[in-house]
Amino acid sequence: MNPFASKEPNEGGRNLPKRTARRFGLTSGTGWVLVLSRPVKPMRKVGPKTSDPLLFRLLLRALSIPTTGPEISDRIVAFDSETLEREPVGKQSVVEEFLSLENRPAARIVEQLPAQANGILDPEAIDRLLIRVHCEMQRVSEEFQHGRRVAELLNSILEALRANHVSRPLRVVDIGCGTGFVIRWLAANSSLGGDVELIGADYHPALVEAATRLARVEKLSCRFVIGNAFRLAEPAAVYLSTGILHHFREDDLLELFKQHDRQSTCAFLHFDFHSSALAPFGSWLFHAVRMREPLAKHDGVLSAVRAYAPRELLLAARTGAPDFVSAIYGTKLWGLPIPRAFHSLVGMRPQYRNAFIANMGSKIGSLGVIE
């Protein structure tokens, strides 16, 4: 029994946990799902502050750029933290939450989502929506050559592990893999070597099923599992992720990094939005032009608003996983003073540091201090 279960029935008449599992395939060491395992905390604004320039705040308002979390996709799907069974989500409760946060665009988007007669969001319709959104995300990842950027860093990490005679196979696990674009790209395009095993983990069965089907059609050597990325029967040597770090706020981000600190883990590689003054506006323009689904437009822009600064990620990683050395890679575009949309957090055991640096070659100039 979940001790954090609400005693108040939802619209469908069932008692639901106050917070249940998001789709990221991980839980805390106590068995509860990270971020969603604790009693609900008041959501704070993560966007503009009163100290921000007036023009900045006016532009955010004029463009209807959301400034308050959570993202819509964080609220329209939930799973039981122990059994991973899907939990019903009341449409009106989600709408009211966004209205209470003064995020009216999000409330309007949720209002348009199909619901059953009892007020519960239609799970099949939500699954179809999320798969469409992930298809749009894959298209963007392909355009930005995200797979190639992952492979560049991952190969340098894997070569460092080989040089230090880490036992095989070198298992790489993608946390919150969605429809598996990164794992599938690596399997199809990157020469990682025959001693590398690629696995994607996610809580959402529909996304895992889509990833598995695509890998089968593409005849790729990789697999996808429903479950906790940190509790697989065969543990990972390297954990990687794309676009999940900003979902974990405050102490929950520290808890995420604590989950990396286990005997089998040699390194981690996390890509996420890069926080900058230009990020909300660049993201708004890009998503307005390139995305079709309203949910994708909203959540994509809010992701940029909620992104962590490099120093915040480093502090969290070095505090939560003190037995690893870490650095930020790729904050500037082509070496110019232009911030990248995405940067990456690289971490590894100290004994692999020198080999990794040697393997980086000419790319070392884009790597921050690794300590």
Per-residue pLDDT at 6 exceeds 60: no
| pLDDT higher than 70, residue 208 | yes
Q: pLDDT: is 182 or 145 the higher one? A: 182
pLDDT tens for each residue of 23-72 = 455 543 333 333 333 333 433 444 555 456 665 555 555 555 666 779 99
- What is the DSSP secondary-structure string of 183-235? HHHHHHH----TTEEEEEEES-HHHHHHHHHHHHHTT-S-EEEES-GGG-SS-
Tens of pLDDT, residues 231-250: 888 889 999 999 999 999 88
Alpha-carbon Rg for the chain in angstroms = 20
Give the three-state DSSP class for 243.
coil
Q: Which amino acid is located at 234 in the chain? A: E
Q: What does the pLDDT average to over 167-173? A: 96
**Across the beta sheet with 325-329, what order do the strands follow?**
223-226, 196-202, 170-175, 238-242, 267-273, 342-348, 325-329
Q: What is the pLDDT of residue 34?
A: 34
Two tokens at 169? Answer: 């196979």
pLDDT at 194 over 70: yes
User: What does the alpha-carbon distance between residue 320 and residue 123 come to, in Å, rounded to a whole number?
Assistant: 35
End-to-end CA distance of the chain: 42
DSSP 40: P
**How confident is residue 18, by pLDDT bands cut at 50, 70 and 90?**
very low
pLDDT band at 340 (very low <50, low <70, confident <90, very high): low
pLDDT for the residue 292 = 84
What is the rounded CA–CA span in Å between residue 31 and residue 204? 18
User: What is the rounded distance in angstroms from the CA atom of residue 359 to the CA atom of residue 356?
Assistant: 5
CA distance 303 to 268: 21
- pLDDT tens for 77-123 read 999 877 889 999 999 999 999 999 989 999 999 999 999 999 999 99
Cα–Cα distance, 307 to 302 (Å, whole number): 9
Q: What is the pLDDT of residue 53?
A: 65
CATH level 3 topology of 137-366: Rossmann fold (3.40.50)
Residues 241-291: pLDDT tens digits? 999 999 998 899 999 999 998 899 999 999 998 776 666 666 656 666 677
pLDDT of 2 over the 60 cut: no
- Going from N- to C-terminal start, the domains of the chain cover 5-132, 137-366
What pLDDT, on the 0 to 100 scale, is given for residue 20?
Answer: 36
Q: What is the pLDDT of residues 285-339, one digit of tens each?
A: 666 667 789 998 888 888 888 889 899 999 999 999 999 999 998 765 556 555 5
Are 240 and 269 a contacting pair, CB within 8 Å? yes
Cβ-based neighbours of 170, under 8 Å, separated by 6 or more: 158, 161, 162, 193, 195, 196, 197, 237, 238
